[in-house]
Structure 1
């Protein structure tokens, strides 16, 4: 099974955040599942780090690369098809990063692991419990 991690889920996994459910931890840790982190999430983390809304180590780009490698997670680039899928989405969610994750999840036929209740208003496969 292929899963896309929402930005906060990626960060929760890294810091072992208690908010992350045991079920989500089990799915993420399963060696037979493919875990993806979108370029939209890395973009979001870098922007938030630069403006002071997210505290990352001194070299955020190194930290993110290392965490992807350590946790055997795969990067998911943003493609033209992902961008075009945005045109099919209703304007329920205003956050551009989350909208891209939704589009990627739909286009790539993945399951999105998120704790964002607004995302659940879309016709998108969302992991049931985070």
Structure 2
């Protein structure tokens, strides 16, 4: 199964709306490709929010904190080069 975090789509939509990201295609086309390639969206759950509420504040970015919570909640490996993730008990690769 191909799994995509809805959080990443929301984050990208915000960056597009404030002109921090330019795409070579339309955002709508990306959505069509997600559907055409059978990606499933990982929802944000209440359990994720419970984990967020107990995380130490090594990092304050709400999107990153949700990535951390979802990684903990689902035992995911996070792909990132950001070193602040090392402050949390999640698996990362880069």
TM over 0.5: yes
Structure 1: give runs of 5+ residues left out of the alignment.
Answer: 1-33
* Corresponding residue number in structure 1 for 2:46: 80
Structure 2: give runs of 5+ residues left out of the alignment.
Answer: none
* Corresponding residue number in structure 2 for 1:39: 6
Relative to the length of structure 1, the TM-score reads 0.62
Match of 2:59 among 67, 73, 93: 93
Relative to the length of structure 2, the TM-score reads 0.83
**Pairing 1:108–2:77 present:** no
Higher RCO (CA-CA < 8 Å; seq separation 6+) = 1
* Corresponding residue number in structure 2 for 1:26: none
**Pairing 1:49–2:31 present:** no
Q: CA RMSD in A?
A: 2.1
